[in-house]
């Protein structure tokens, strides 16, 4: 259970989800969305690792997370997952964390 309640629907969406411009001005095409709203550690990290492992090189993955601990942990696991942390955007009741597979 998360800070904002349990989510409904599937935990992830492998379909492309549009584009995003991060606070540093870089624009990326999102290749996959991992929705872990309502989940607590370690599930968001595990689902992010799984998405990186299943994605081709260069894929940008958006992770939707509402657990502060998980949001902070995702950038730190990138070195062990062949990924690169791109940035985080604070949404209304969650964070949008962006990572890319090397």
At 45-81, the pLDDT tens digits run: 999 999 999 999 999 999 999 999 999 999 999 989 9
For residue 96, cis peptide bond before it (omega within 30 degrees of 0): no
pLDDT grade for 3, boundaries at 50, 70 and 90? low
Q: Which CATH fold would you assign to the domain 12-101?
A: Translation Initiation Factor IF3 (3.30.110)
* Predicted local confidence at residue 42, as pLDDT: 95
Residue 36 confidence (pLDDT) above 90: yes
**Nearest alpha carbon to residue 51 among 83, 26, 24, 20:** 83
**Nearest alpha carbon to residue 52 among 21, 76, 84, 29:** 84
Q: Which residue has the tokens 């607590």?
A: 40
Residue with more model confidence, 18 or 15: 18
pLDDT grade for 82, boundaries at 50, 70 and 90? confident
């Amino acid at each position: 259970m998360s800070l904002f309640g349990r989510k409904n629907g599937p935990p992830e969406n492998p379909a492309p989800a549009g584009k995003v411009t991060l606070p540093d001005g870089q624009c990326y095409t999102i290749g996959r969305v991992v929705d872990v709203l309502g989940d607590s550690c370690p599930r968001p990290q595990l689902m992010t690792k799984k998405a990186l492992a299943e994605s081709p090189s260069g894929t940008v993955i958006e992770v939707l997370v509402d657990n502060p601990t998980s949001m902070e942990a995702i950038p730190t696991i990138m070195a062990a997952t062949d990924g690169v942390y791109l940035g985080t955007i604070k949404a209304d009741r969650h964070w949008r964390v962006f990572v890319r597979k090397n």
